[in-house]
Copies of this chain bind each other. A is one copy, B any other.
Amino acid sequence: MPNQSYHLDKIFHALADPTRRSVMERLCRGPASVGELARPFDMALPSFLQHLKVLEQSGLLRSHKVGRVRTCQMEPQALEMTERWLVEQRTLWERRLDRLDDYLIDLINKEKEQ
């Protein structure tokens, strides 16, 4: 059931690991092969591959294989969705603070009237 929430689960989970975030940061600078991506990390290739799989299943990364080399690239749309959620939460919160503000101002004004 790939609904919205499930998708966010995957994306946030994917980003909750420094190796995977690092890969995404690298991919911002352009596509790269698996080996190229793996090089900076002190980790066996199969372990690293699993990280790539997590990223790919979250939709943050796309890849295609040509010959024997698989090239990966970022899928920025997935980031956008996540960003939207975060911004929405913060906005709701701020709106609430505004309402609280209004409420308090109202209260103070009523105090004055008495």
Contacts and interface: CB of A to CB of B under 8 A. Distances in A.
A58 to B, nearest CB: 10
Q: Is the interface of A mostly helix, strand, loop or mixed?
A: helix
A89 B78 CA distance: 12
A89 B25 contact: yes
A39 interface: no
A24 interface: yes
Q: What size tier do the contact residues of chain A reach?
A: 20 to 34
Interface in A6-40: 6, 8-9, 12-13, 15-18, 21, 24-25, 27-30
A83 interface: yes
Given A9-B16, A12-B16, A18-B5, A79 B89 contact: yes
